[in-house]
């Protein structure tokens, strides 16, 4: 029996590592991660459909829009967006967000609309795209320095960035699947913790 036990432990550990790896891979496998400098920002009304035209839609706002597409209720859509921007459902006709222009380190400029208001021009940011949604998070200025490109592309740094993107994607899934106001508020707070920096 003592000889069988170590074999069982090894097999069990291998299965656990495989399952954990597969779950992490599935959650973040589609994550595209770019970093760059914010070169412009514009205040937008998140209720205006044109605000996000031609841009990535990020943060909890993007997840709220995904949630609202599952429901035909305008009240539920407003409640989800209201939870994101801290406004009572229907209390504000205008819900303010930002449209950021980011010049990535490869020279392209991308646009992202989000409820996040703390990011400023000249901030270094990481833009994540996973599962049809996007996220923008502030990071150290040195990450955008040309001399840091080899470090930013190192496998251990990329693995960490993928893990952070997977956590953020999972938090957004919680908002999409939320059924009650309490679940929505909990999910939004979780997004603020794991998706913003």
Q: What is the DSSP letter of 141?
A: G
Q: What is the Cα–Cα distance from 42 to 44, expressed in whole angstroms?
A: 6
What pLDDT shows up at residue 69?
53
Q: What is the residue extent of each domain of the chain?
A: 29-195
What does the angle CA 169 – CA 88 – CA 135 come to, to the nearest 5 degrees?
Answer: 20
Q: What is the Cα–Cα distance from 168 to 133, expressed in whole angstroms?
A: 10
What does the angle CA 35 – CA 60 – CA 97 come to, to the nearest 5 degrees?
Answer: 80
pLDDT one digit per residue (tens) for the chain, 197 residues: 445 444 443 333 343 333 333 344 444 356 899 999 999 999 998 878 788 788 888 776 776 666 555 554 555 555 555 556 554 444 456 678 899 999 998 899 999 988 888 999 999 999 998 767 789 999 999 999 999 999 999 999 999 999 999 998 888 888 878 888 788 888 888 988 998 87
CB contact at 8 A, 108 and 95: no
């Amino acid at each position: 029996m003592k000889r069988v036990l170590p074999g069982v432990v090894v097999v069990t550990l291998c299965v656990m590592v495989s399952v954990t790896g597969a779950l992490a891979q599935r959650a973040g496998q589609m994550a595209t991660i770019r970093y760059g400098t914010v070169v412009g920002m514009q205040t937008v009304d998140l209720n205006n459909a044109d605000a996000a035209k031609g841009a990535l839609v990020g943060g909890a706002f993007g997840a709220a829009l995904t949630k609202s597409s599952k429901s035909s209720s305008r009240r539920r859509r407003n409640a989800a967006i209201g939870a994101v921007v801290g406004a009572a459902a229907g209390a504000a006709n205008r819900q303010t967000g930002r449209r950021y222009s980011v010049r990535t380190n490869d020279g392209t400029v991308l646009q992202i609309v989000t409820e996040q208001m703390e990011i400023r021009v000249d901030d270094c940011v990481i833009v994540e795209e996973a599962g049809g949604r996007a996220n923008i998070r502030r990071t150290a200025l040195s990450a955008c320095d040309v001399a840091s490109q080899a470090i930013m592309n190192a496998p251990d740094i990329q693995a960490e960035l993928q893990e952070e993107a997977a956590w953020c994607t999972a938090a957004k899934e919680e908002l999409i699947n939320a059924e009650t106001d309490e679940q929505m508020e909990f999910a939004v707070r979780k997004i603020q913790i794991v998706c913003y920096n």
